[in-house]
Each structure stands twice: as C-alpha cells, then as structure tokens.
Amino acid sequence: MSERSRFFQGLLAGGGLVIFGMVLGAAGESQGNAEFETITAKRIIIADTKGEPRISLFTTRNGGSVLIDSADGEPVASLGGAATGGAVILYNTEGRPYSILSSEEHGGRLQLFNKIGRPSADLP
C-alpha cells in the first residue's frame, strides 16, 4: 500500500470518527436542557409526558394568547389580546367559560356564567 493510500485511509477514518462524535454529541444534547437568548415562533405548544398538548402560546389578529388545558384536554384558562385590550377566561370542567374578565372601550368588564354556560352576572 502506498503512502498516499495510507494517508487517505487515515483521513477517511479520522473524518468518520469526527462525524460519529458529532452525531453522538448532538443526540446527547437533544435530551438535555438548552438555553436561548430569543425564540421566535408563531406558535409554541408545551406537551405533557404523554405528548398531549397542555399549554399553547400563539398569536391572533388582536395580539398574543395563552391557552391552558386540563389533563383531560379541556381548556381551563386563557389569557389573550382582545379588540379593546386584554381578556382572561376561566373554564369549567366541560370546557365552557365560567368567567371572563376583559377590558372594554369604557373600562373593565366581568362576566360570570352558570354550570351550563348561560350568563349569570355581567358587570360592565
């Protein structure tokens, strides 16, 4: 075997080891924690240990929103931008709104709903 052939064999073997190390390093990193200065996305979904979405961060035409789901997948709370400011909504176990606190054109508003989702109080 010529010296040139041995050189290329060594080069290929060394390159293969470097690539193998990079692949192992990347696989190890994906299982750990990461730190970022800024994350830019249109939607971020945080899932539980079973892979089910539980928290969603997303944008709407009125701004940003956060939606929190129960272990059953029903919404329990949301916070978001509204046409006249912001809104906080709490839901019952069936996923129906229980209370809405929002900003309106002339001030705040609190709406309360009964178990079946019908309005029971409205304080403008």
Taking the whole predicted model, whether its pTM rises above 0.75 is answered as no
Same domain for 27 and 49: no
User: Distance between CA atoms of 82 and 65, rounded to whole angstroms?
Assistant: 9
Q: What is the pLDDT of residues 55-100, one digit of tens each?
A: 999 999 889 999 999 999 999 999 999 888 899 999 998 889 999 9
The residues facing 48 across adjacent strands are none
Same domain for 77 and 50: yes
Same domain for 61 and 4: no
Same domain for 64 and 16: no
The residues facing 88 across adjacent strands are 79, 101
Instruction: Return the CATH number at 90.
Output: 3.90.930.1
Same domain for 24 and 49: no
